[in-house]
Amino acid sequence: MTVTYRAATPADYEPLADMARQSWVETFGYLYNEADLNAFIGPVFGPDGLGRELSDPAFQIRLAEADGRIVGFAKIGPVTMPGPLPAPAIELNQLYVLKPWHGRGVAPALMDWALDNAHATGAQFVHLSVYAENARAKAFYTRYGFTEIGRYGFVVGNQVDDERIWSKPL
């Protein structure tokens, strides 16, 4: 099945939010009780989170679609992690791919887009955060030249996770 890529629009909110929730729960849902999971997912992927970002020119979102369905996305925007961090910078806020599409070139295509567009903004660094125990993501980011430069507590409901800050000069 062919994967196509395009810029997200506000009209993509519902299917994108559904895909993002599914991907996040597939990857991290086992770590949290239901209350903590819902406390995180609602604001992040809801109308005031992802829905607002789709209309905010500070964010760029790229979709990967197969057979009319969103199977992955990448989002870049302002740096939200605690710092000080090298600047000027942009954050790769999210890069999610549904599990059936892992290993099929979707994540590299989205990462290439994110790095190209981050560079086009004039940023000199791209920062991202990754759960300390997410070995698959850390291996992927290492292949792209990202290195760990810090850590912080990532809050999901009442739980605080060990999140690592990674960076790459452009």
Gap between the Cα atoms of 60 and 153, Å rounded = 25
The reported pTM is 0.96
Residue 15: predicted pLDDT: 98
Rounded average pLDDT over 114-130: 97
**Domains of the chain and any CATH numbers:** 3-169 (3.40.630.30)
Residue 83: predicted pLDDT: 85
Q: Encode pLDDT of 28-85 as tens digits.
A: 999 999 999 999 999 999 999 999 999 999 999 999 999 999 999 999 999 999 989 9
Gap between the Cα atoms of 57 and 8, Å rounded = 12
The fraction of the chain above a pLDDT of 70, given in percent, is 100
Residue 1: predicted pLDDT: 81
β strands within the chain, DSSP E: 3-7, 60-66, 69-77, 89-97, 125-131, 147-156, 159-169
